[in-house]
């Protein structure tokens, strides 16, 4: 097992079994919750993010780890992942910043909670872990993209990746006027006005990995 990329420091309490699930989580906050929803262990990033000392973290109730109404919502996501056996991924605003979190059920009954300000690379999700169920803003973004036609999704992906109208036309073997028509239709359906907004929506929906996205590896 290669642990060279795992964010484990002297103050980390991240157990080895978690590393088998998430091998490349640099800069990602990680917590491990037991079936009783107590926090079994956490790495230094998680502790800093939630204002907990190592002593306070071990055995703390999940509701103790998040402020206000967020605690109940995340407890529901932990339970949802445990019941279904499928990871649950959400995108939310925290302290004015967009944060992506995924709750991964483990065979032991524990749930691995990963949070990343940059988001996760869903385009290269590991085959050994079920594709996550999307909730909240992540699900809304995916539903908006799914409303496009097949051709529009092709154009959407190419524009989001930074291609010009001319480059998209050459790639798809269509005229620039045709591609401009698809672009305008995409703008109307998605309520976007420019390619920058398309790129943001592509990352929120998981079609494109965000810059610096955390990668879960087999």
HSE at residue 178, side-chain half, CA atoms within 13 A, is 12
- pLDDT over 60 at 98, yes or no: yes
Predicted TM-score (pTM) of this structure? 0.75
Per the CB < 8 A criterion, the answer to whether 104 and 28 are in contact is no
Strand 97-105: give its sheet, edge to edge: 60-61, 38-42, 29-33, 111-116, 97-105, 88-94, 133-136
CATH number of the domain encompassing residue 99? 3.30.450.20
Between vectors from CA 173 to CA 168 and to CA 175, what angle results, nearest 5°?
75
Structural domain including 154 reads: 143-205
What is the CB-side half-sphere exposure of residue 209 using CA atoms within 13 A? 13
Q: Are residues 31 and 112 in the same domain?
A: yes
Domain edge (last residue) among 117, 133, 161: 117
At 161, the pLDDT band (50, 70, 90 cuts) reads confident
Residue 192 shares a structural domain with residue 109: no
CATH number at residue 168: 1.10.10.10
Does the residue 168 lie in any domain?
yes
- Quick one: 45 and 107 in the same domain? yes
In a domain, 55, yes or no: yes
User: How many independent structural domains does the chain possess?
Assistant: 2
What's the pLDDT tens digit per position in 63-92? 888 877 778 888 999 999 999 999 999 887
- Tokens 């050994």 — which residue? 128
């Amino acid at each position: 097992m290669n642990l060279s990329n795992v964010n484990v420091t002297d103050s980390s309490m991240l157990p080895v079994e978690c590393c088998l699930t998430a091998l490349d989580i640099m800069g990602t906050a990680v917590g491990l919750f037991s079936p009783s929803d107590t926090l079994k262990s956490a790495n230094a990033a998680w502790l800093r993010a939630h204002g907990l000392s190592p002593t306070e973290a071990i055995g703390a109730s999940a509701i103790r780890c998040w402020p206000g109404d967020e605690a109940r919502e995340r407890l529901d996501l932990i339970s949802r992942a445990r019941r279904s056996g499928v990871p649950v991924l959400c995108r939310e605003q925290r302290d004015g910043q967009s944060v992506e979190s995924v709750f991964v059920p483990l065979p032991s009954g524990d749930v691995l909670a990963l949070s990343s300000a940059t988001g996760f690379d869903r385009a290269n999700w590991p085959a050994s872990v079920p594709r996550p169920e999307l909730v909240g803003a992540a699900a809304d973004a995916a539903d908006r993209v799914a409303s496009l036609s097949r051709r529009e999704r092709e154009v959407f992906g190419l524009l989001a990746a930074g291609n010009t109208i001319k480059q998209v036309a050459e790639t798809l073997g269509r005229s620039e006027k045709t591609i401009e028509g698809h672009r305008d239709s995409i703008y109307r359906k998605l309520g976007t006005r420019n390619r920058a907004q398309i790129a943001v929506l592509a990352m929120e929906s998981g079609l494109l990995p965000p810059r610096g996205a955390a990668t879960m590896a087999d």
